[in-house]
Amino acid sequence: MTTQTEAEADAIYRFLRHKTNVLGYSVIDIDYSTLARLVSEINKYNEETNELLLCASKAATMIQQVHKDISKMYTDFLKQIPCDEIMEVQISVNNRLISTEAYYMAAKHGLHIFKQNKQS
C-alpha cells in the first residue's frame, strides 16, 4: 500500500518522464524517496506559507482594532476633560493615532505584498 506522498511522487515521476523523453533529457530522478521527500517539502512549505498569511492578516486586523480603540477612548476622554486642557491632550493623542495608523498601513501593505508574492 502506498502513502499519499508516494502516490504524488509516482504521478510527478510519470508526468516528468514523458515530458523529458519528448525533450530528449535524462534528468529524471528514479529514486522515488527523493521525489517523495520533495513533494513532502513542497506541501510543508505551502502549509507554512498559509500560516504566515494567517498571522499577517491577524496582525493587520489587530493593529486596526487598536487604532479604533484609541480613537474611541480619545473621543470619550475629550467629553470629560476641562476645555483648557484639551489642546495638550489633542496633541498627545493625535500623535498616537498617527503612529497606530502608520503601523496599520505598514502591516496592510506588507500583507498585500505577501499575498502578491505567494500568488507568483
Please give the pLDDT value at position 1: 57
Please give the pLDDT value at position 92: 79
Q: For the chain, which residues make up each domain, given as ranges?
A: 4-119
* Chain centroid to CA 90: 35
Quick check: 17 pLDDT over 70?
no
User: What tens digit of pLDDT does each residue of 78-98 get?
Assistant: 788 777 777 777 787 888 888
What are the cell numbers at 96? Answer: 498616537
Please give the pLDDT value at position 106: 87
Global pTM value? 0.51
62 vs 37 pLDDT, higher one = 62
What are the cell numbers at 60? Answer: 493587520
CA distance linking residue 1 with residue 14, whole number of Å: 18
Q: Specify whether the CB–CB gap between 12 and 43 falls below 8 A.
A: no
Q: What's the mean pLDDT when you consider all of the chain?
A: 77
CA distance linking residue 117 with residue 23, whole number of Å: 30
Helix (H, G, I), strand (E, B) or coil at 26: coil
